[in-house]
Amino acid sequence: MVQLTVNGQTHDIDVDADTPLLWALRDELGMTGTKFGCGLALCGACTVHIDGVAMRSCQTTVEDAEGTEITTIEAIEGKAADAVRAAWQEIQVPQCGYCQSGQIMSATALLVENAKPTDEDIDTAMYGNACRCATYHRIRKAIHRAADLMEA
Amino acid sequence: MLHHLEKAIEATNPPLTRRGFLAVTGGAGVGLIVGFSFPRGAKAATGDDQFNPFVMIDSDGIVTVLSKHLDKGQGTATGLATLVAEELDASVEQMRVEHAPAHPEVYKNLLFGVQGTGGSTAIANSFEQYRKAGAAAKAMLVAAAADSWGVPAGEITVANGTITHGSGKSATFGDFAEAASGLEPPAEPTLKTPDQWVYIGKDFPRLDIPNKTMGAPRTYGLDIDVENRLVAVIARPPKFGAVLKSVDATEAKAVRGVVDVRETPVGVAVFAESTWPAIKARDLLVMEWDDSNAETRGSDAILAEFKALAETPGAVAHAADYEAGLAEAETIVEMDYSFPFLAHAPMEPLDITILFDGETATLWTGSQIQTIDQGATAAVLEITPDKVTINTQWAGGSFGRRATTNADYAVEAALLAKIWGEARPIKVVWTREDDIKGGYYRPMYVHKARAGVKDGKITGWHHRIVGQSIFTGTAFESLIVQDGIDHTSVEGIADTTYSIPNMQVELHSPPVGVPPLWWRSVGHTHTAYVMETMMDALAKAAGVDPVEFRLAHLGNDPRKAGVLKLAAEKAGWTEPVGAGRHRGVAVHKSFNSYVAEIAEISMNDGVVKVEKVVAAVDCGIPVNPDNIAGQVEGGLGFGLGAVMRNEITFTDGEVDQANFDTYEPLRIDDMPDVEVHIVPSTEPPTGIGEPGTPPIGPAVANAIGQATGQTPTELPWSKGGLV
Ligand code: FES
Ligand code: FES
């Protein structure tokens, strides 16, 4: 039995300690906004915030996640997250959309840390978030736009 | 007909989308579904009033469009909703869109004759159908309002979701939805003329985007968890065509959460209560495989065989006296090319949930060719196709992978359901490794091209292509393969619209024991590369500017010339390129659309970086320009990642790649800045999901040729150290 704090709520989950947080969120808690893309920290689709830091939930076991504050796409909010979502809609970023939960989680973490990222900052922060639909051009635009929205 | 639809609807589980499963029970047939009659005025399962198979309106005035096409990221569903909204004069805010149920007659692709999405046909085949559906619904609303207000219908206007009359009367769609849906629909609803359009040609916002930024539940197939479902993962043969000899599942069965392990015709299936135990247990299976009928060659051996074949005459796809043409030439250009197997690797690996109760089956998946999925599932389960209900989910990409002519992954699910025996939902999950190693690849191809020029004009061309046929042995063989020529192996070359005299195209289609499949833009993935790098090489040999050289051969194709000129103008082709930068151009027609791309690159220590791409596109009437731009941006990014560094190789028949480390997708720092220009057009709309992909490889290759004097011809470029 492990205890997870997700989006401010505590859950007791009966899974093996080596279960990736990703599958605990999806299968045990029914929070399917966090996506499975590779299982090996190679695509970023499963990105969540753990104590405010963007982490790959496919490579974080429930054991390691115990005692932390986990935030998922379903509940992420605040100035940066709101700006990111607004920019994502304004710039019409998603295509298939499957990677976008992860993109939004990574972009939000970036903007919380760095309110005015350069293209290079964006490349570094977003490198691990793959998008097979190649919406990168708009992701970049939308992050800059979100930074402007935060300033306004 | 109606009966089985109702049955199918009853068999559906509790609501899985916000509005629940939508029934085709009300309204009346319009437009192209002549001869199909529905009882009028009936309610859909949701309580909405159904105007026809494509449009429902509820009492709050919410208009729900049923998309007969799978939206796997291309914006198709919003495109269809735009067409309805246009003729209905609805507001953007009141529009919703959901996937239609599976029904081969009502929801068929008018170009395929079955329900299915592909070949960039969604908007092309629906353009009139969905506008008529919207126009019919509007006429019915107006008639109901006229009746209620006691005024002539001709005096009523509809705009932005509001019905009004000069007397000051005003109503929402919801006010008249119920009354209107019981009326006789007009046989031939009048469509607007283009000058009356308020949405077509404007940037209608995509209706799926809000959900996709919120992590909304029950969106993709993988998000579907039907109550009491088991999760299954399958250990498939490591070599294509191998069969299971023995399995020891002792350790696998000991994993907590594993319910059972069963041998199946497609491999060993682990059934578990949730996903992780299934994945974990599969790694613990100890299996032996019989390779006697397996493909055991390595990809190097296959490539060597293809190269040898390219030296011998093939089946003639396009005949001409090329010898005479080449004899006239001043300069001959000869190039050999090789293209690897490619996986589609959609971001959402495949998944499908099936529930079989012994009589009916229900599927939840991003079904791309519903009619084939229905038929193949039914065949396995020994029921009729009408007993198979499909809940089509939004798909996390496809690029062709979800559309197989044998419904491979639906068949697997059906086999598992049959083997399981009890009526329990089974969700088959593919890991990324399953996806990368799973076959259904863009086949390997080798090209050998020889062409001659004189006085700035091509005099003759001899072209040989070697590669597996995608269509041979499928249900579509007779449509696509003629006289031994699979059209998709030679499309883009044998049917080129360049004016090339004395062009002979030959084809070898050797069998390979690896399942092939179309991959975003099919044959154009390799033919455009060869055609367009050859054109550059010939231009160089002729001493003519590459754009001018192409235009000199495009007298018969003004639309292709048009996009080329537009891209050249916008990219400042005739002006010098910046220091350290190099430019390359390519133009190609595919899926009846035309795309030109001009790539600007820099080279650092021999490594290429694509800095910018200027694209011009002509896809007929641009229904949604911003979405068209998005598809060109994404389509060229998808193509760029592949030519740079993607390949599936085999060692002794086993796939060498496994995940995104060994099959690395394009990353954000690889993505160029992209500018897309759209040619205004009054021609019927044509494809946009695929046509952005073919020109990028050759455009960048030509820029590399400019920079280094060497055009890369062995793909991917990572082999030559360029990336
Ligand atoms: S699923 Fe975790 S990084 Fe890909
Ligand atoms: S939007 Fe499809 S993978 Fe990113």
Give B225→chain A minimum CA distance, Å.
Answer: 8
A-chain CB neighbours of B277 within 8 Å are 16
**What is the mean pLDDT of the segment spanning B312-326?**
97
Q: What is the pLDDT of residue B476?
A: 86
Q: What is the pLDDT of residues B610-620, one digit of tens each?
A: 999 999 999 99
Q: Is A103 on the interface with B (CB under 8 A)?
A: no
Gyration radius from chain B CA atoms = 27
Nearby residues of B318 by Cβ (< 8 Å), 6 or more positions away: B490, B494, B495, B503, B504, B505
| Rounded-to-integer distance, Cα B157 and Cα B145, Å | 10
Question: For residues B393 and B221, is the Cβ–Cβ distance under 8 A?
Answer: yes
Of A39-48, A60-69, B49-58, B529-538, the poorest mean pLDDT is in: B49-58
Nearest to A97 among B208, B665, B674 (CB): B208
Best probe of the B interface among A19, A36, A60, by most B CBs < 10 A, is A36
The DSSP code for A78 is S
The DSSP code for B668 is G
Q: Which CATH number fits domain B221-292+350-429: 3.50.30.50, 3.50.30.60, 3.30.365.10, 3.60.150.10?
A: 3.30.365.10
Contact (CB<8Å) A135/B633: yes
Q: What is the pLDDT of residues B5-28, one digit of tens each?
A: 223 323 322 222 222 222 222 332
How many angstroms separate the alpha carbon of residue B660 from the centre of ligand 1?
Answer: 10
How many angstroms separate the alpha carbon of residue A55 from the centre of ligand 1?
Answer: 10
| Rounded-to-integer distance, Cα A47 and Cα A38, Å | 12
Contact (CB<8Å) A132/B346: yes
Q: Which atom of ligand 2 is nearest to the CA of A103?
A: 4
Helices and strands in chain B: count of H runs, count of E runs? 19, 29
Q: Is B626 on the interface with A (CB under 8 A)?
A: yes
The DSSP code for B576 is P
Token couple for B538: 């010939």
B580: left (phi over 0), alpha (psi -120 to 50) or beta: left
Nearest CA in chain A to B78: A95
CATH 3.40.50.460 given to domain A79-151: no
How many angstroms separate the alpha carbon of residue B664 from the centre of ligand 2?
Answer: 15
Nearby residues of B168 by Cβ (< 8 Å), 6 or more positions away: none
Of A36, A95, A129, which is best to mutate to test ligand 2, by the most ligand atoms within 8 angstroms of its C-beta? Answer: A95
Secondary structure (3-state) at B9: helix
**What is the mean pLDDT of the segment spanning B43-59?**
78
Residue B199 CB burial class (10 angstroms; 0-12, 13-18, ≥19): buried
How many angstroms separate the alpha carbon of residue B348 from the centre of ligand 1?
Answer: 11
| CB-based contacts of B289-293 (< 8 A; 24+ apart in sequence) | B289/B237, B289/B238, B289/B239, B289/B242, B289/B243, B289/B244, B289/B245, B290/B242, B290/B243, B290/B244, B290/B245, B291/B239, B291/B241, B291/B242, B291/B653, B293/B241, B293/B242, B293/B243
> How does the average pLDDT of chain B come out, rounded?
92
For the domain B299-342+441-720, what is the CATH code?
3.30.365.10
What confidence category does residue B1 fall into, taking pLDDT thresholds of 50, 70 and 90? Answer: very low
CB burial of B218-239 (b: ≥16 within 10 Å; e: otherwise) equals bbbbbbbbbeebbbbbbbbbbb
Q: What is the pLDDT of residue B712?
A: 98
Taking 90 as the threshold, does the pLDDT of residue A38 lie above it? yes
B-chain CB neighbours of A122 within 8 Å are 668
What confidence category does residue B44 fall into, taking pLDDT thresholds of 50, 70 and 90? Answer: low
B-chain CB neighbours of A33 within 8 Å are 214-217
Q: Is B674 on the interface with A (CB under 8 A)?
A: yes
Q: What is the dihedral of CA B8, B12, B17, B18, to 10 degrees?
A: 100
Question: Which residue blocks in A24-129 are alpha helix, DSSP H?
Answer: 62-65, 79-90, 100-113, 119-126
> Hey, which residues does B96 pair with through a beta bridge?
B64
Nearest CA in chain A to B636: A134
Taking 50 as the threshold, does the pLDDT of residue B33 lie above it? no
Token couple for A12: 């007791």
User: What ranges make up the beta strands (E) of B282-350?
Assistant: 286-290, 315-318, 331-339
B-chain CB neighbours of A92 within 8 Å are 203, 205-206, 209, 626-627, 630
Q: Which atom of ligand 2 is nearest to the CA of A96?
A: 2
How many angstroms separate the alpha carbon of residue A62 from the centre of ligand 2?
Answer: 27
Contact (CB<8Å) A89/B210: yes
Nearby residues of B65 by Cβ (< 8 Å), 6 or more positions away: B54, B55, B77, B80, B81, B84, B85, B95, B96, B97, B98, B130
Cα–Cα distance list, B3 to B364, B376, B414 (Å) = 21, 21, 24
Sequential DSSP letters for A15-45? S-TTSBHHHIIIIIS--TTSPPS-SSSSS-T
Taking 60 as the threshold, does the pLDDT of residue B74 lie above it? yes
Tokens 């999950």 sit at which residue? Answer: B429
Question: For residues B132 and B86, is the Cβ–Cβ distance under 8 A?
Answer: no
Q: Is B175 on the interface with A (CB under 8 A)?
A: no
Question: Which residue blocks in B310-369 are alpha helix, DSSP H?
Answer: 322-328
Q: Is the peptide bond before B665 cis (omega within 30 degrees of 0)?
A: no
How many angstroms separate the alpha carbon of residue A38 from the centre of ligand 1?
Answer: 5
Secondary structure (3-state) at B653: coil
Q: Is A33 on the interface with B (CB under 8 A)?
A: yes
Give A129→chain B minimum CA distance, Å.
Answer: 8
Quickly count: other Cβ atoms within 10 Å of residue B264's Cβ: 18
Q: Which CATH class is domain A2-71?
A: alpha beta
| Rounded-to-integer distance, Cα B619 and Cα B617, Å | 6
Q: Is A6 on the interface with B (CB under 8 A)?
A: no
Task: Give the binding-site residues of ligand 2, using a 6 Å CB cut-off.
Answer: A 94-100, 131-133, 135; B 73, 347, 397
The DSSP code for B155 is G
Assess whether the C-beta atom of A42 lies below 6 angstroms from ligand 1: yes
Q: What is the pLDDT of residue B46?
A: 57
Q: What is the pLDDT of residue A152?
A: 86
| Rounded-to-integer distance, Cα B61 and Cα B171, Å | 10
Token couple for A47: 């990105």
Give A118→chain B minimum CA distance, Å.
Answer: 13
**What is the mean pLDDT of the segment spanning B713-718?**
98
Give me the residues of B, 4-63, that contact A with CB < 8 A: none
- Give Dmax over CA atoms of chain B in angstroms: 83
| Torsion sign, CA atoms A81, A82, A86, A89 | positive
Question: Which residue blocks in B35-75 are alpha helix, DSSP H?
Answer: none
Quickly count: other Cβ atoms within 10 Å of residue B687's Cβ: 23
| Rounded-to-integer distance, Cα A20 and Cα B458, Å | 61
Nearest to A130 among B636, B665, B673 (CB): B665
Contact (CB<8Å) B638/A132: yes
| Rounded-to-integer distance, Cα A7 and Cα A88, Å | 22
Domain regions of chain A by residue span: 2-71, 79-151
Of A25, A50, A55, A56, which is best to mutate to test ligand 1, by the most ligand atoms within 8 angstroms of its C-beta? Answer: A56
Give A73→chain B minimum CA distance, Å.
Answer: 6
Token couple for B425: 């939902």
Assess whether the C-beta atom of A39 lies below 6 angstroms from ligand 1: yes
> How does the average pLDDT of chain A come out, rounded?
98
Quick one: which of A1, A9, A28, A33 has its CA closest to A98?
A: A33
Question: Which residue blocks in B382-502 are alpha helix, DSSP H?
Answer: 408-420, 432-437, 477-480, 487-490
Taking 90 as the threshold, does the pLDDT of residue A132 lie above it? yes
What confidence category does residue B692 fall into, taking pLDDT thresholds of 50, 70 and 90? Answer: very high
| Torsion sign, CA atoms B532, B537, B542, B543 | positive
Q: What is the pLDDT of residue B475?
A: 85
Give B435→chain A minimum CA distance, Å.
Answer: 10
Q: Is A140 on the interface with B (CB under 8 A)?
A: yes
Contact (CB<8Å) B668/A74: no
Q: Please name the fold of domain B3-213.
A: Aldehyde Oxidoreductase; domain 4 (3.30.365)
Q: What is the pLDDT of residue B273?
A: 98
- Cα atoms in the Cβ-side hemisphere of radius 13 Å centred on B300: 3
* Main-chain phi, psi angles of B131, to 5 degrees: -65, -40
Assess whether the C-beta atom of A128 lies below 6 angstroms from ligand 1: no
Quick one: which of B409, B408, B414 has its CA closest to B429?
A: B409
Give me the residues of B, 250-309, that contact A with CB < 8 A: 256-257, 274-277, 279-280
Residue at B63: amino acid letter:
V
Assess whether the C-beta atom of A117 lies below 6 angstroms from ligand 1: no
Give B665→chain A minimum CA distance, Å.
Answer: 7
Token couple for A40: 């090996």
| Rounded-to-integer distance, Cα A117 and Cα A104, Å | 15
**What is the mean pLDDT of the segment spanning B423-452?**
98
Question: For residues B413 and B354, is the Cβ–Cβ distance under 8 A?
Answer: yes
Question: For residues B178 and B210, is the Cβ–Cβ distance under 8 A?
Answer: no
CB burial of B1-34 (b: ≥16 within 10 Å; e: otherwise) equals eeebbeebbebbbeebbebbbbbbbbbbbbbebe
Tokens 């299971």 sit at which residue? Answer: B244
How many angstroms separate the alpha carbon of residue B595 from the centre of ligand 2?
Answer: 22
Question: Can you give the three-state secondary structure of B473-485, one letter per residue?
Answer: CCCCHHHHEECCE
CA angle B674, B125, B97 (to 5 degrees): 75
DSSP H/E element including B382: none
Looking at chain B, the domain(s) classified CATH 3.30.365.10 span: 3-213, 221-292+350-429, 299-342+441-720
Cα–Cα distance list, B227 to A33, B23, B428 (Å) = 18, 22, 15
Is pTM beyond 0.80? Reply is: yes
Q: Is A58 on the interface with B (CB under 8 A)?
A: no
